[in-house]
Amino acid sequence: MPQGADLFTPDRRAASFISSRSAGPNGLAPGAAFGQPWPMSDLTAFLGVEASLTGRRWTGPAPATERLAEAMVQATRLPLPLCRILAARGVAAEDAAAFLAPQLRELLPDPRGLRDMEQAAARFLLALDRRERIAIFADYDVDGGSSAALLMTWLRAMGHDASLYIPDRIDEGYGPNVPAMQALAREHTLIVCVDCGTLSHEPVAAARPADVVILDHHLAGETLPEALAVVNPNRQDEDGSLAHLCAASVVFLMLVEANRQLRVAGRQGPDLMGMLDLVALATVADVAPLLGVNRAFVRQGLKVMARRERPGLRALADVSRMDSAPTAYALGFLLGPRVNAGGRIGQADLGARLLATADPVEAGALAQRLDELNSARREITERVREEALAQAEARGVDGPLVWAAGEGWHPGVVGIVAARLKEATGRPAVVIGLEGGEGKGSGRSVAGVDLGAAVQRVAAEGLLLKGGGHKMAAGLTVARERLEEAMARLSALLARQGGESAAPRDLRIDSLVMADACGLSLVEQIEQAGPFGAAAPAPRFAIPAVPVSARRIGDKHLRLTLRTPGAGLEAVAFGAFDTPLGPALEAAGHRPFHLAGRLEINTWGGRSKVQLRLDDAAPAS
């Protein structure tokens, strides 16, 4: 049996702890979560936690999941903790090996399965062969910047350059606009719109006589702009099988098709595998689900990024003080926000220029500037977050939509604040900054609720000036006098999708583990099932009845030391003092608590150790 495989099999300490409480209010069966049947999570709270420090009920995995995991151990000889994760992901025993080592060549879809793909690649190659002037019009976020950088990197490898145009978030807003497209058309014969353009009928028409190719993933309307090609897995005439791709993945597939067409002509295209670092960054930062080919993109992209060959990402990792191999967490919380910072509160094209540059000196200067902007962005975000949360709570957070709108809230941070409200309430959230007669806002959704479609519907009904997006995120512009009416209509549409059925008080626990079992080998086994992110969250573990002592880190964070013999485990709770966790645990006084969170490897100064990123806690008495 592999090392660590017995960490979750029955042992006396675990069985003693659980069996001693099995007759109590928690309803646990003897030996539960350590190789014996799970507690009936549909009837009783996990570890008896009906109301944690954050007011949530803890729920555990179903008994059927445990039975599948135990059967998988017998069939595969994989460790039980890993099998529990695979079973929860719906992975069958016969598919476990392929899931743990996804091969891009097996998962990569045929680019020609997307409509207009062959035309888009052919026109792109024609512009290359004719040495035409090419313009890339990109969105100002990570996905747009990565998409633009992919095209620019490919073209540079073929000895050609392209002009980059990224609209100003405040002055121009999202997507192509008529003046910009007209100006580009005067100087270029091909305009490639990436991560935008699917709903831009008038701006695309204004670009004549230049040809326009659109590579996007946002939800399309019933009609498409009159572009030469619109490649978008979320077109209404697509089958939806690739709807989970971000724009950078669509661009990557177009380059795959371009290389194929070159091979047919007896020519060689650039190496695409070395560009997967950009696809991985965009996939994680755009919160695309880490399933299927997306998971393979990120797995391979992290390996490419670890080679530190792209000057922009190398410089960004350095200013982010990353001293270990990149992870999905680093992409989403260290690198992504810095790339976004330029588009949010600074110069819109800084992120794309950083990702595309081949000059290490330029990369260092751009990374430093983006790091500075990100620090400023954090301060603005915190102020808006506090005001938005107070407003949302006063309005009520139990409906299908949580929303807030404020005078002068910076349009560059409303999306981040919407994500914070979503995380705090478990509901789809929209945050709007008001200025003059309009409000510009962003929304973030929860699993199973298509926010982009609902926003697009409200826009089509005339209650929004414009709006669109995809399932998990959307943007909108609304007239001030129609704000309440538009949000009421959006709320009603989300209610039809089940937006009110979310259970924000429930915290899902994947497994129980004793503190002294949380070693590096266990976390390394768990990470085989990664990377973790949207639609594939990192497993959450509960550590039962452990005495803790706490110390504050800065103003809002908390570090816990677990006072258990043989356990070298610490826990960290970021933003703890924005919740009831901070005050309660700071005053713990070595009292025992049940802890819930995600195990991770923390590397500092060349040394690695396991820590628990705390999500919640409950008194163990």
Answer whether residue 3 is part of any domain. Answer: no
Per-residue model confidence (pLDDT) at position 22: 33
Model confidence, pTM: 0.85
Answer whether residue 493 is part of any domain. Answer: yes
Residue 36 has pLDDT above 90, yes or no: no
290 shares a domain with 280: yes
For residues 424-431, give the mean pLDDT.
92
**pLDDT tens column, 191-215:** 999 999 999 999 999 999 999 999 9
For residues 537-562, give the mean pLDDT.
92
Q: Find the helix or strand (DSSP H, E) in which 268 lies.
A: none
pLDDT level of residue 138 (50, 70, 90 thresholds): very high
User: Residue 615 has which token pair?
Assistant: 């999500």
For residues 63-91, give the mean pLDDT.
91
Domain boundary among 483, 501, 519: 501
353 shares a domain with 241: yes
Domain count for the chain? 4
CATH code, domain carrying 469: 3.10.310.30
Residue 587 has pLDDT above 50, yes or no: yes
43 shares a domain with 86: no
Q: Which of 527, 523, 432 is nearest to 484 (CA)?
A: 432
Answer whether residue 7 is part of any domain. Answer: no
Higher pLDDT: 408 or 62? It is: 408
Domain boundary among 501, 532, 557: 501
Check the CA dihedral 51-56-62-66 and report its sign: negative
Average pLDDT score, the chain: 89
Answer whether residue 189 is part of any domain. Answer: yes
Per-residue model confidence (pLDDT) at position 242: 97
263 shares a domain with 138: yes
Q: Find the helix or strand (DSSP H, E) in which 440 lies.
A: strand 438-444
272 shares a domain with 152: yes
Domain boundary among 501, 536, 558: 501
pLDDT level of residue 39 (50, 70, 90 thresholds): very low
Answer whether residue 173 is part of any domain. Answer: yes
Q: Find the helix or strand (DSSP H, E) in which 479 lies.
A: strand 473-479
Beta-bridge mates of residue 434 = 407, 439
Residues 6+ apart with CB under 8 A from 12: none
Answer whether residue 273 is part of any domain. Answer: yes
Per-residue model confidence (pLDDT) at position 579: 87
Residue 221 has pLDDT above 60, yes or no: yes
530 shares a domain with 603: yes
Lowest mean pLDDT, pick from 269-278, 344-353, 367-376, 561-570: 561-570
φ/ψ of residue 310, rounded to 5: -85, 115
CATH code, domain carrying 215: 3.90.1640.30
Question: Alpha helices of 476-555 — where are they, by DSSP H?
Answer: 483-496, 520-527
Report the alpha-carbon angle 228-229-234, nearest 5. Answer: 150
For residues 56-72, give the mean pLDDT.
91
DSSP annotation of 335 reads: I
Residue 518 has pLDDT above 90, yes or no: no
CA-to-CA dists, residue 547 to 55, 260, 491, 527, 618, angstroms: 21, 61, 44, 27, 12
Residue 504 has pLDDT above 60, yes or no: no
Per-residue model confidence (pLDDT) at position 448: 85
Per-residue model confidence (pLDDT) at position 499: 62
**pLDDT tens column, 101-128:** 999 999 999 999 999 999 999 999 999 9
φ/ψ of residue 245, rounded to 5: -75, 145
For residues 290-298, give the mean pLDDT.
96
pLDDT level of residue 406 (50, 70, 90 thresholds): very high
Per-residue model confidence (pLDDT) at position 500: 62
174 shares a domain with 293: yes
What's the domain range around 52?
A: 12-60+509-619
Question: Rg of the chain over CA atoms, in angstroms?
Answer: 25
401 shares a domain with 340: no
**pLDDT tens column, 154-180:** 999 999 999 999 999 888 988 999 999
Answer whether residue 458 is part of any domain. Answer: yes
Q: Coil, strand or helix: which one is 22? A: coil
218 shares a domain with 188: yes
Per-residue model confidence (pLDDT) at position 346: 80
Residue 498 has pLDDT above 90, yes or no: no
Per-residue model confidence (pLDDT) at position 43: 55
CATH code, domain carrying 573: 2.40.50.140
Cis amide linkage into residue 531, ω under 30° from 0: yes
Lowest mean pLDDT, pick from 1-10, 105-114, 253-262, 349-358: 1-10
Residue 8 has pLDDT above 50, yes or no: no
Per-residue model confidence (pLDDT) at position 567: 65
Residue 138 exposure: Cα atoms within 13 Å on the Cβ side: 33
Distance (Å, whole) CA 71 – CA 408 = 57
456 shares a domain with 343: no
> Which residue is associated with the tokens 């000895």?
159
Higher pLDDT: 524 or 367? It is: 367
Answer whether residue 385 is part of any domain. Answer: no
Per-residue model confidence (pLDDT) at position 535: 87
Per-residue model confidence (pLDDT) at position 302: 97
Do the Cβ atoms of 529 and 523 come closer than 8 Å?
A: no
CA-to-CA dists, residue 15 to 22, 31, 414, 488, angstroms: 10, 4, 48, 52
Residue 460 has pLDDT above 70, yes or no: yes
473 shares a domain with 408: yes
494 shares a domain with 363: no
